């Protein structure tokens, strides 16, 4: 069994710990490789941007870093789904693996790679057979599947490179960060032109559009163009619903929501403890106020995405169309308030449910935290040093933080979708969370380089 698992390509660890500058270099290499994959078209597929304008494709591109018709067509989806499935199986005991043991961790990593490759194969075949790439010959379909499998192996190796210590963080987080940043960058600087039903041309990016509007103001005394940038509702050719091009309302909503998310993500709840081996020394262990946010909101968004994909072929049915409008509401369409309220409630309910499930399965529950405290000989002052007592004390704050974090993640994701923030509500949460993770990692690496003795304490 182990011999078969090791057949998949892997990246070896560096011979010694790399300095921060080299790790940043390899992180940049991984980013460049993936960006190149997003602009390299699949051989045998006619390139078109039509697919990328659909809500389902936009959501996929944000969460999984996909790019239609390119080597990044599947993105990190197979790896993320494989990781979620195997982690649930491991923590629930279905997989007989102890992740505290080095050998079992190696088996888990190899299983994850093979599972991701299997999911990629199923997805690639399904895309070809469903005609997403247009009519293709059997040989052409086989070539497309092979290209997507090779691309998945490349992404697996990129993630392996990062996790083995060559880069910083993980390739999964980096790719999500890049995909959301790309959406925001294009909203600001894209020179693409959109044509409405009146054959009027609109520059998509806000900054170029502002430059054109300022030219109209100073050259022709026309201030209407600048006023139009406040709220750019455009009926594009061939579309039955309005589109909101990047405007000042979207910019302000994005900045304001990002600031609130950042503020909440940095809040801590301190648990006072003492160390059993050092009597009299008291300190606190901080728990994040947003106890868990990334995975529950990914679960929530992906679940709704699956429902949308299953229902989209039947969208001509009025009932199905109404459901899809709830899942994918039109930005700032306050004429249908009940649909927006339902969209908000669905996101919040699913986010809280997934947050609760994930905390129980991922080793974040009160019992798991109490077990870690007990192993470290930590206890809460004024209470007997007992794992059960610790779990009882931690149960209320952890349960409360779990529900609050699910509520916050679901609320901001839904509000972001309703207000039309750049990158989407889910994308903005992921962007802020990953940016904070990278900031903490870089600061930690700098501290370890300045004070090498800390490595023995922290690692």
- φ, ψ for residue 240 (rounded to 5)? -95, -10
Copy the structure tokens of residue 231: 């709220």
CATH at 399: 1.10.3370.10
Same domain, 261 and 204: no
Q: Cα(230)–Cα(384) distance, rounded to whole angstroms? A: 61
Predicted confidence (pLDDT) at residue 51 exceeds the cutoff of 50: no
222 or 412, greater pLDDT = 412
DSSP string across 36-47: HHHTSBPTT---
Residue carrying the six token digits 């609109």:
202
Q: Cα(295)–Cα(402) distance, rounded to whole angstroms? A: 12
Copy the structure tokens of residue 9: 């390509």
Write down the pTM of the prediction.
0.83
Same domain, 220 and 271: no
Query: pLDDT, tens digit, for every residue of 141-152?
Result: 899 999 999 999
* Residue 84 Cα to chain centre, angstroms: 13
Query: Is 374 in contact with 267 (CB distance < 8 Å)?
Result: no
Same domain, 44 and 55: yes
Mention every residue, 6+ apart, whose C-beta is less than 8 A from residue 112. Answer: 79, 82, 83, 86
Residue 241 domain-assigned?
no
Same domain, 168 and 203: no
Cα atoms in the Cβ-side hemisphere of radius 13 Å centred on 20: 13
Residue 93 domain-assigned?
yes
pLDDT at position 53 is 45
Q: Cα(325)–Cα(336) distance, rounded to whole angstroms? A: 10
The arithmetic mean of pLDDT across residues 299-309, rounded, is 83
Q: What share of the chain is helix, strand, coil (3-state, %, to 5)?
A: 65, 10, 30
In three-state secondary structure terms, 225 is helix
Same domain, 161 and 259: no
| Share of residues in the chain with pLDDT > 90 (%) | 21
Same domain, 214 and 171: no
Q: Cα(29)–Cα(79) distance, rounded to whole angstroms? A: 20
Same domain, 106 and 227: no
Residue ranges of the alpha helices (H) in 222-365? 224-228, 248-265, 294-311, 318-327, 337-361
Copy the structure tokens of residue 353: 């449910």
Query: pLDDT, tens digit, for every residue of 70-100?
Result: 999 998 889 988 887 887 777 767 777 776 6
What angle do helix axes 337-361 and 294-311 make, rounded to 10 degrees?
A: 130
Predicted confidence (pLDDT) at residue 295 exceeds the cutoff of 60: yes
Residue span of the structural domain in which 218 resides: 193-234
Predicted confidence (pLDDT) at residue 357 exceeds the cutoff of 80: yes
Lowest average pLDDT, out of 174-183, 353-362, 389-398, 418-427, goes to 389-398
Residue ranges of the alpha helices (H) in 130-232? 138-163, 171-189, 206-220, 224-228
Query: Is 82 in contact with 116 (CB distance < 8 Å)?
Result: yes
Same domain, 185 and 200: no
Same domain, 136 and 198: no
Round the CA-based radius of gyration of the chain to a whole number and report it. Answer: 24
Q: Cα(90)–Cα(71) distance, rounded to whole angstroms? A: 31
DSSP for residue 229: T
Query: Is 448 in contact with 454 (CB distance < 8 Å)?
Result: yes
Q: How many domains does the structure of the chain reveal?
A: 3
* Mean pLDDT value across the chain: 82
Q: Minimal CA–CA distance to 417: which of 425, 427, 409, 406?
A: 425
Q: Minimal CA–CA distance to 363: which of 267, 291, 260?
A: 291
């Amino acid at each position: 069994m182990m011999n078969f698992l090791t057949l998949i390509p892997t990246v070896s660890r560096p011979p010694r710990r790399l300095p921060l500058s080299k790790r940043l270099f390899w992180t940049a290499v991984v980013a460049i490789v993936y960006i190149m994959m997003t602009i390299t078209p699949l051989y045998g597929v006619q390139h078109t941007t039509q697919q990328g304008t659909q809500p389902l494709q936009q959501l996929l591109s944000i969460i999984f870093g996909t790019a239609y018709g390119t080597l990044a067509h599947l993105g990190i989806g197979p790896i993320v789904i494989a990781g979620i499935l195997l982690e649930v199986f491991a923590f629930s005991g279905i997989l007989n693996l102890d992740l505290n043991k080095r050998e079992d961790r190696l088996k888990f990593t190899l299983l994850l790679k093979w599972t991701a490759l299997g999911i990629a194969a199923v997805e690639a075949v399904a895309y070809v057979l469903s005609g997403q790439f247009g009519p293709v010959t059997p040989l052409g379909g086989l070539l497309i599947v092979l290209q997507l499998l090779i691309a998945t192996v490349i992404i697996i190796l990129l993630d392996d490179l990062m996790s083995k210590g060559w880069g910083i963080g993980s390739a999964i987080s980096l790719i999500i960060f890049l995909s959301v940043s790309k959406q925001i960058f294009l909203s600001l600087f894209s020179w693409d032109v959109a044509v409405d039903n009146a054959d009027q041309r609109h520059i998509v990016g806000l900054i170029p559009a502002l430059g054109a509007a300022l030219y109209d103001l100073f050259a022709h005394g026309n201030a209407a163009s600048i006023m139009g940038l406040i709220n750019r509702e455009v009926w594009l050719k061939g579309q039955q619903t309005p589109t909101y091009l990047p405007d000042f309302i979207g910019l302000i909503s994005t900045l304001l929501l990002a600031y609130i998310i950042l503020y909440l993500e940095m809040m801590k709840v301190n648990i006072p403890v003492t160390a059993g081996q050092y009597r009299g020394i008291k300190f606190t262990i901080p728990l994040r106020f947003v106890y868990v946010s990334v995975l529950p909101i990914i679960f929530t968004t992906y679940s709704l995405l699956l429902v949308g994909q299953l229902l989209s072929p039947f969208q001509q049915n009025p009932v199905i169309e109404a459901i899809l409008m709830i899942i994918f509401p039109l930005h700032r369409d306050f004429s249908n308030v009940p649909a927006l309220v339902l969209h908000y409630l669905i996101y919040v309910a699913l986010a809280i449910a997934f947050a609760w499930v994930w905390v129980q399965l991922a080793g974040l529950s009160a019992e798991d935290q109490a077990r870690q405290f007990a192993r470290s000989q930590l206890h809460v002052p004024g209470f007997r040093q007992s794992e059960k007592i610790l779990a009882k004390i931690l149960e209320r704050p952890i349960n409360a933080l779990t529900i609050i974090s699910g509520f916050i993640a679901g609320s901001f994701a839904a509000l972001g979708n309703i207000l039309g923030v750049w990158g989407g509500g889910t994308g903005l949460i992921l962007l802020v969370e990953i940016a904070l993770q990278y900031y903490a990692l870089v600061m930690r690496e700098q501290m370890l380089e300045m004070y090498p003795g800390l490595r023995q304490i922290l690692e």
